[in-house]
Structure 1
Amino acid sequence: MNDQIFEPGKYLHTLAYRCTPGLVGDTTVHVRRLDTETAKLWSTFTAQCRKRFGKEEAQAPYTIATTVLQVITGGYVFFEPKGASPFLVSRRSIDSDLLRKALALTHGLALGEQVEMIDLRQPPELARRIAQTPEREIALHEHLEGAAGVQPDAPNWLYRSVSWGLAERLAAVPFQLSNGREITLRPDTTGGLVALDDAWENEGGGRYAVCRTAVRLKTLPNVQHPVLLLDSRVSRISSSLIFSSTALAVQPGEGRPVLEVKLNGRGGAKTIPRQALEALGRLEMDYSILQSIKKRSEHEQKLRERARAFKEKLQFPRVHPGQIWPIPAKNYKHPIGTGVGMHHLRLLRAHADAVFGEETQRLPLRQSAMTLPRRPTALETVTAQELKRRKEERERTGSKEPLRSRGSLFPSAESLCISVDEAGFKKLRIACLWYRDETRQRMLQTFCRAFGLDPVGLDTQEGVEVDLYQGRITAVFYYAPDFLRPGRGRDRAEALETLAASLRPRDGILVGSWCETELPHADDFPSIDARDLDDLDAKPQTKAVLARLDVPSQYLMGRGKDGVIESGGEDHPAQMALLDLYRSLGVTDERISNALQSKGGYPVDRIAHVGVHVRQQNRRFGEKGEPKIVITATALVPPHASEGAWSLLGWSSTAPVWRPYRSAQNAFHAHPYPEPSAEMTSYRQKWDGAADMVERALGDLVDELDGVAYTVTVDAQSARRMWDGLQNVRLGEQHAKTGTDSNRSRYQLPGERLGGDAPLAVIRLNTEDEEVPQPVSVTHMGKKEGAEPVERDTSTLLFEVATDFGTPVWLLCNVPRAFDGSGAGRLGSKRTRWEAEKSVQSEDRSERRKGEMPQNFYAMTATEILPIGGPSDAAREALAAMTARLCHQTLFWSDRARYPVPLHAARQMDLDHPQYWREAADAEPGSGDDAEEGEATE
């Protein structure tokens, strides 16, 4: 059960364990593997449902059957009737006659039949075939042996069911806190754990959240066994059911897991699926808990109707949830913060160790040799002697000056000029468009901070340039309320017409636009339905107008929820907006060359680095047509001379030509997202077509690079449906699909068919918390003999996973700025939420204290980095370190990002597009849960 720490070095501890036969013991599940003919019948059933509902995306509602079977079996069941290997798996055996009846009811109800008219003696062929499929009791350990030198290829049903038994074992032992308190964990039907008996409550009372612990089986690259991943999170509980997406329900009887139920209906009318209730009623099963959900929904809908009738504010009783715990669809304002904190995760690791005992095999991760670039914002480096002298001087004088000063957030003006020169321009002009004087002042104050100007006496005149740096960088301010304010029925291009000539790049002047914006507020437009407020948003409209003028733009929020925003102190939003404007302009300052320095190892500074971003934009409510595939790409190209600036090129599926990043982004933003091809109707055709586009783009890039080697970086989540070689089970395969396997993608890896012009390596990133091990702490083993290990809570270093075969994979640890920044409270580092301190009100300011429960508790995250290909182990390690450094040193703000610069820049092109859903792009993660306060927010 040890972490195999033998040699000196730093070792990372995570919540990841090898899932070996010994870990699962003699646990069994019951599996029905559906044959090809049965899968075809389900496809026919799906087509019938689509025809009935008139929706191409409609799916046969097998959730009816799943809900029914969960109630029948006590909870543990998973039904997957689609895909290459359809199956039905359950913890307990399912009676075939009961299964046939349940599926017959599902079939009939989905196609509109009345429940009492469905003839259970004459079930459809689909129901008969599934019920007649032999049910086998299978021991899980049979599929976990693993073969030496081979990636695990366990069946899908194993990944869906292995956590059931493990979660029950984890729940059988109380979760022990440091103060001796014991927390009761209950297993739930997802295969996880939930602490309903010890819910968290806000200080004012009546609002709740619960701890949910995920128990997932995943694979890691080149690790022989599947890996068990644990993680805990805060699930806020809504005061209303009808605005929630799911509900946790406590089933009657002993030993049954907590039921997670998906709710049907739109916001304000969510309830249990009607067909599931009707089916259970026909089967004469006990479904009292589902009836309770239905009754609560009906009661809340009556409260909603009453509030509407009397034009009152909609409010719901805030009482203990009891048996039904609604979970909101979105994170709105809530009096309990997000995150469980580092201490909780370390206790979870100890809990798993105690439960699983000697069968636990952790994954060893050792620090990789890598130096992080010194960021401009870093504290100055001073000797210990100088630090001591300053401390003594401060104590003597009573000064409160910091012992070390922090560097500038902004790149040097000279490095900006070098990048502008490299782009073929002589001067950079920033056009500031505003309509509130407070926003104009914030822009001006930010320029003063960025360029070291004295704000005293510095002011702006309409259309008159302000010299920011030696006449080579200037700003000019324009009052443009008609262009910028939210509203409808105005011609934005016409409103900008008088300024358009001044904004266009000309005479060697590179122009970028910094604009004021705000989200439309319902109070300002009382006659507009809340659902139509997005149509009044000026930002997407004005961005498209500026893009057509070939002017990159960035936006600064002038008014927030609490009113107009004024300058004062550190204006981080304004500072980040200016940095992001530099990114939109394609400016790559000295921070990039600093991050890509090669010190005697593999020459990553002489290689171009490409990032390819892929996303499917699903339709919003009311929209028609197929989902759209969006592809953007960038290339970070080394300078011809060592003292030159790196260049940033861009490309998009809308304008598939490589050009300077600013122009590529403008060409992308000036047009709608590309419509899907009518010729590509199947899932496989659609994504093969997307891979074709990237292949052609890389071929075109080769001509632009003129012999310079390059790498390609992609995100695993979005890209593996395009390239099979990115999937763990396909790693190391040399050939793409044959004509007989329609489920395989046409390409194995990006650029693979370019021959000698193929990428030097493909770098696969994975930032998905559900698939990447959760870091919890670090042990430092010293070099001196007999030295005691030193334990550290966090790390920002790169660690190499000890793989069983093939090439290594690396984890880059990230510490949230809110946890580790200046003045951070490091909440969750020493206490769990069960031990959170309450607020203290006092006339003595020194004794006052904020309560900890409303605040966010932070933990480390990790980015998985896997270089595929490359000429040697040393090259792959250098590429992993390079990727880590380009995450550490970003273009757009002062701290670390989850994606390296090329992939971030490609992704940001998409997030800034006028058609991107702004509420998704601008939302702060974990900002709260207020849906029940009014349907307008739903």
Structure 2
Amino acid sequence: MNDQNLEPGKYLHALAYRCTPALVGDATVHLRRLDTETAKLWGTFTNQCRKRFGKEEAQAPYSIATTVLQVITGGYVHFEPYGPAPFLVSRQPIDSNLLSKAFALTHGLALGQPVETIDLRQPPELARRIARTPEREFALKEHLAGADGEQPEAPNWLYKTVGWGLAERLAAVPFQLSNGREITLRPDTTGGLVALDDPWENEGGGRYAVCRTAVRLKTLPNVQHPALLLDARVSRISSSLIFSSTALAVQPGEGRPVLEVKLNGRGGMKTIPRQTLEALGRLEMDYSILQSIAKRSQQEQKLRERARAFKERLQFPREHPGQIWPIPAKNYQHPIGTGVGMHHLRLLRAHADAAFGDDAQRLSMRQSTMTLPRRPTDPEKVSAQEYKRRKEERELTGSKEPLLSRGSLFPSAESLCASVDEAGFKKLRIACLWYRDETRQRMLQTFCHAFGLSPAGLDTQEGVELDLYQGRITAAFHYVPDFLRPGRGRDRAEALGAVGASLRSRDGVLVGAWCETEIPHADDFPGVDARDLDDLDAKPQTKAVMARLDVPSQYLKGRGKEGVIEPNGEDHAAQMALLDLYRSLGVIDERISNALQSKSSFPVDRLAHVGVHVRQQNRRYGEKGEPKIVVTATALVPPQSSQGAWSLLGWSSAAPVWRPYRSAQNAFHTHPYPEPSAETTSYRQKWDGAADMVERALGDLADELDGVPYTVTVDAQSARRMWDGLQNVRLGEHLGQAGTDGKSSRYQLPGARLGQDAPLAVIRLNTEDEEVPQPVSVTHLGKKEGAEPVEKDTSTLLFEVATDFGTPVWLLCNVPRAYDGSGAGRLGSKRTRWEAEKSVQSEDRSKRRKGEMPQNFYAMTATEILPIGGPSDEAREALSAMTARLCHQTLFWSDRSRYPVPLHAARQMDLDHPQYRREVADAEPGSGDEGEEAETTV
């Protein structure tokens, strides 16, 4: 992007480039496209594997063949046996005879045949057909030219292979740090980069992490060329191989990429797949690196067995990983933090510019004309003179008061009452259910902050209402330990006892329950398997009881990892819990109505705004049956008069009726997640059925709204399985084209078939880091001639991406609170982890310093906003700004959300469901970061 050719304004820089023919140059790959008959034979092979293993979801283990081929050919091989166009692609040509042998061994070993009995001279028909499939050499640039006015539709194999050559170009140039140090990047077999030669190590020594750089090819809406997206992350290295999911392995020989190997086996027994070793041994190839992985696994398993036999603590050696770098399956506690930081990402952009040179074309992203709503917690606005005066006065007096005051986090009591009135009630009562006095005090302290009450002399009596605001908002405290404590073997409804009767909303009183909870810990339940701890969790059990009473509920954790949580200072957890209780009650306060006000002539504040959340609930350990599809929706409805309050409706696939949000959520939580229909036998039918439910729901909502136009907001990642029109390649297609090939969705967009009751526009959000450009900085070009550009590290603004055709797309930049909040330190803003400062121990408190390596380094994120439809460009811009404003001003805390209010509220209905289980990240076994019994949690 040449700044001299740009108009004045603010421009966003991101790790995104147009992937043009010039960028990939003369890079080629060798491709075999499997024909229909070969694909059918693979399907037969898969069914044989499923019968053998007795698992419906089992797939034929093609990783045997791909790992064999990677080791033999140098590393770059990808096999895609499923989907509409199955293929095998590699960087180097593969000998057909070798291919036949590799798949013959894969076929025989997967079906249980001893390796020495597999006749390589008489391979099965599947192996013969794959080997006979013609191999053609393709130049990548032939598929990247793009057509004017059309979304790119490159073949799947291109997306899997383009990183191979580009990563090598990036690795050819040393990664330059600001202090002059050069970091070596190595290509890996995923098409990315890894800095194995310069790992990060903790201060105590013996624990490692490495920098991995992703090189991905994605499409962006209405951009002619696919986009090359770069990003960097911290990959923690495990002390143990047997508890890891994958391993990075340095292959022998020069110029070979680092091999990423998938490990298999149960926890504590992970190793290289035995069939892969047997296949390579039968082919008499050098597979020493894989043998090293197997040998290390055997050694660690012996250590584990010894520790169990002698009842000793399991501890693995602390040493440099050498050739094998295990990556843990979970994000365990680790002495090296996550994230590479903003400075690292800016250096990565400079590195890509140096490696790609003039071949790289950046995307232009200019600030949109949007003003963010002023939030009550934003600092007050004062003139520069007043700010200077206050600063001088504070220096003279030594005061530690903040220079700029902030308003309350909580909505005003008046707006709460207005929302309660809109719901048809006269009074709000909050029932506080507790079993630790510390939690009771925290709740009371939070009420004092929320309603401006003095804590002096303020106390609670069992079941007696405490007036919070003019008799219209009250609280009542109930001590119910048997109802709330974790455990099993009790009737929760019976334990609630007489308190249950006082919780019902009646006689003009709206009631919500604020409950204490804790995550059950293995130490409190000796002898209970870690996987059974979920059954002891009181939260889902008590939430189900509350839902049957039609009582909205929210929970406050009374004990954490460090023990009982004491009332102390700014209790953010308690404050957020109270705000989330308001959300469960369906309260829409003045903060949201203020955020919906706009200077645009398009009336976003007179539209209803619907959020549709979709999630597939996969089977958990011990569960059987098909995955379940969960659908929830909300509608933010404008008031009938300018003085009225906005209201919130809810709907779910378990209770498919629109009703006030609090009742819709309770009805949803009363039912288990819906089971898949026995009539839906295919993937396509399953998702078409979900889209059909939403279509009927939107039709019902249109009747409820009685002529009020509405928008629908969905998340691209989950919803595009239901509506093909959300996919970049299908943007702008006519409604009649949907579902005509038997593979596409029957529905192009949500509500598109409802005629005059269809939504005014559909707003597609994408928050997936792998698909949205990573922002790194902003340049401000002033209007004055000759003015120097001003560089800014971060931004919270909305930027319009310059597209080649069709409607624009916007990126909303987000700065994590942990990066930009009070006292955050902005770790990673000026240094990379290679330059992290070490801790300083000193008797002088002012000289003490925490080490930076254990802490998290944060970076900006971006939310992609794409309005589809709408009457005009102005309307689409207004809808994009409205979506950004409803992300900026949330219901549930003081900062931003990745989702706007309607979609967040719909999503939260699901996350609060009793069947949605809470999870805790445990320490890594043998790492030294876990407790004495951590090994039992694996």
The two structures have a TM-score, normalised by structure 1, of 0.98
Which residue in the other structure is 1:213 paired with?
213
Q: Which residue of 1 aligns with 2:160?
A: 160
Report the equivalent of 1:787. 787
> SS in structure 1 opposite 2:753?
helix
Aligned identity (percent) is 87
Equivalent positions of 1:350-429 (< 5 A) are 350-429=350-429
- By how many angstroms is 1:144 displaced? 0.5
What are the within-5 Å matches in structure 2 for residues 266-345 of structure 1? 266-345=266-345
Secondary structure of the structure 1 residue equivalent to 2:729: helix
1:463 maps to: 463
Partner deviation per Cα, 1:486-518 (whole Å, 9 max, x = no partner)? 001001011012211101111011111011001
State the SS of the aligned residue for 1:753.
coil
* Residue 726 (structure 2) aligns with: 726
Indicate the residue corresponding to 2:597 in structure 1: 597
Letter in 2 for 1:802: A
Aligned to 2:658: 658
Q: Give distance in 1, aligned partners of 2:200 and 2:387.
A: 44
The residue aligned with 2:263 is: 263
Match of 2:585 in 1: 585
Cα deviation for residue 929 of structure 1 reads 8.0
> Structure 2 stretches of 5 or more lacking a match?
none
Instruction: Please give the alpha-carbon distance, in whole angstroms, between the structure 2 residues aligned to 1:449 and 1:799.
Output: 37
Map of 1:124 onto structure 2:
124
Separation of aligned partners in 1, 2:936 and 2:765: 38
Give the Cα separation in 2 of the matches to 1:107 and 1:139.
32
Residue 612 of structure 1 corresponds to: 612
Matched ranges for 1:412-561 at <5 A: 412-561=412-561
The CA distance in 1 between the partners of 2:507 and 2:711, in whole Å, is: 35
Could you say if the C-alpha distance between residues 704 and 863 of structure 1 is closer, same or farther in structure 2, counting changes exceeding 3 Å? same
The answer to whether the 8 Å contact 1:2/1:362 transfers is no
Question: What SS does the corresponding residue of 1:321 show, helix, strand or coil?
Answer: coil
The Cα of 1:777 is off from its aligned counterpart by 0.3
Q: Give, in whole Å, the separation in 2 of the partners of 1:559 and 1:739.
A: 52
Q: Which amino acid aligns with 1:880?
A: S
User: What is the SS of the residue equivalent to 1:443?
Assistant: helix
> Quick one: distance in 2 between partners of 1:520 and 1:346?
43
How far off its partner does 1:268 sit? Answer: 1.0
Contact preservation (8 Å) 1:5, 1:11? no
Residue identity matched to 2:847:
E
Letter of the aligned partner of 2:485 in structure 1?
A: R
| 8 A Cα contact 2:529 2:937, kept in partner | no
Displacement of 1:580 in angstroms is 0.5
Using the TM superposition, give the Cα deviation of residue 52 of structure 1 relative to its aligned residue in structure 2, in angstroms: 1.3
Matching residue of 1:804? 804
Residue in 2 that maps onto 1:567:
567
Contact 2:18 2:228 in 1 (8 A): yes
Q: Are positions 1:855 and 2:886 aligned together?
A: no
Cα 1:738–1:879 shift into 2, 3 Å: closer
**1:746 corresponding residue in structure 2:** 746
Q: Which runs of 4+ in 1 moved over 4 A?
A: 736-740, 920-923, 927-933
Report the CA distance shift for 1:773/1:4 in structure 2 as closer, same or farther (over 3 A). Answer: farther
Give, as a single letter, the amino acid of the residue that structure 2 aligns with 1:458.
Answer: L
Report the secondary structure of 2:498's partner residue: helix
Asked whether the 8 Å contact 1:29–1:91 carries over to 2, the reply is: yes
Note the C-alpha offset of 1:35. Answer: 1.1
Aligned to 1:504, what secondary structure does the other structure show? Answer: coil
Shift in Å, 1:100: 0.7
Q: Distance in 2 between matches of 1:738 and 1:602?
A: 30
8 Å CA contact 2:332–2:922 kept in 1: the answer is no
Once residues 3 and 510 of structure 1 are traced to their aligned partners in structure 2, the CA distance between those partners, rounded to angstroms, is: 58
Mean alpha-carbon deviation: is it higher for 152-161 or for 277-286? Answer: 277-286
Deviations 1:425-477 (A, max 9, x none): 11111000000000000000000011000001111000001111111110100
Q: Is the 8 A contact 1:3 1:363 kept in 2?
A: no
Instruction: Describe the shift of the 1:928–1:473 C-alpha distance in structure 2 as closer, same or farther (beyond 3 A).
Output: farther
User: More deviation in 793-802 or 594-603?
Assistant: 594-603
CA contact (8 A) 1:104 1:120 kept: yes
Mapped partners of 1:930, 1:643: distance in 2: 56
Mapped contact 2:600–2:878 kept (Cα < 8 A): no
Name the Cα RMSD after superposition: 1.5
1:914 corresponding residue in structure 2: 914
Query: 2:192 aligns to what?
Result: 192
Q: Give matches, 1:644-793, under 5 Å.
A: 644-735=644-735, 737=737, 741-793=741-793
Q: For the residues of structure 2 that align with 1:908 and 1:230, how far apart are their CA atoms?
A: 31
Could you tell which deviates more after superposition, 40-49 or 249-258? 40-49
Q: Which amino acid aligns with 2:181?
A: R
Counterpart code for 1:84: P
Question: For 1:52 and 1:401, how far apart are their aligned partners in 2?
Answer: 70
User: Counterpart of 1:870 in structure 2: which amino acid?
Assistant: G
Aligned to 1:198, the other structure's residue is in SS state: coil
**What amino acid sits opposite 1:759 in the alignment?**
P
Q: In structure 2, how many angstroms separate the alpha carbons of the residues matched to 1:129 and 1:593?
A: 64
**1:291 match: secondary structure:** helix
Given that 1:314 and 1:933 are in contact with CA atoms closer than 8 Å, whether structure 2 keeps it comes out as: no
Tell me, in whole angstroms, the C-alpha distance in 2 between the residues paired with 1:529 and 1:639. 52
The one-letter amino acid paired with 1:94 is I
CA shift in 2, pair 1:738/1:790, >3 Å: closer
1:274 & 1:195 partners in 2: Cα distance? 29
The 1:9–1:740 alpha-carbon spacing in structure 2 relative to 1, beyond 3 Å, is closer
Match in the other structure for 1:240: 240
- 1:795 and 1:936 map into 2 onto residues whose CA distance is 45
Go from structure 1 to structure 2 and tell me whether the alpha carbon gap of 1:928 and 1:39 turns closer, same or farther (over 3 Å shift). farther
Classify 1:837/1:206 alpha carbon distance in 2 versus 1 (closer, same or farther; 3 Å).
same
| Equivalent-residue separation in structure 2 for 1:72 and 1:187 (angstroms) | 17
5+ long unaligned stretches in structure 1: none
Q: For 1:65 and 1:614, how far apart are their aligned partners in 2?
A: 36
Q: TM-score normalized by structure 2?
A: 0.98
In the TM superposition, residue 119 of structure 1 has moved relative to its aligned partner by: 1.4
1:870 aligned to 2:850?
no
CA contact (8 A) 1:462 1:479 kept: yes
Helix, strand or coil for the counterpart of 1:246? strand
The 1-side partners of 2:922 and 2:429 are apart by: 26
Distance 1:720 1:18 in 2: 24
Separation in 2 of the partners of 1:757 and 1:832? 53
Aligned residue for 1:919, secondary structure, equals coil
Query: Does the Cα contact within 8 Å between 2:738 and 2:747 map onto a contact in 1?
Result: no
Letter in 2 for 1:304: R
> Displacement of 1:385 after TM fit?
3.0
Return the letter of the residue paired with 2:140: L
Q: Is the 8 A contact 2:713 2:762 kept in 1?
A: yes
Distance across 2 between alignment mates of 1:930 and 1:908: 31
1:269-314 CA deviation, whole Å, 9 max, x = no partner?
1111111111111111111111111111111111111111111111
1:920–1:205 Cα change, 3 Å: closer
Who is 1:845 aligned against? 845
Deviates more, 1:481-490 or 1:33-42: 33-42
Q: Distance in 1 between matches of 2:836 and 2:81?
A: 45
Report if the CA contact (8 A) 1:931-1:937 is conserved: no
Distance 1:317 1:5, change over 3 A: farther
- How far apart are the structure 1 equivalents of 2:920 and 2:685? 28
The CA distance in 2 between the partners of 1:839 and 1:284, in whole Å, is 52
Change (3 A) 1:802 1:703: same
Deviation at 1:712? 0.4
Structure 2 contact 629–690 (Cα < 8 Å) conserved: yes
Distance 2:772 2:396 in 1: 50
Q: Is the 8 A contact 2:330 2:921 kept in 1?
A: no
Q: Tell me if the contact between 1:736 and 1:744 (Cα under 8 Å) persists in the aligned partners.
A: no
**Equivalent position amino acid for 2:406 in 1:** R
Partner of 1:48: 48
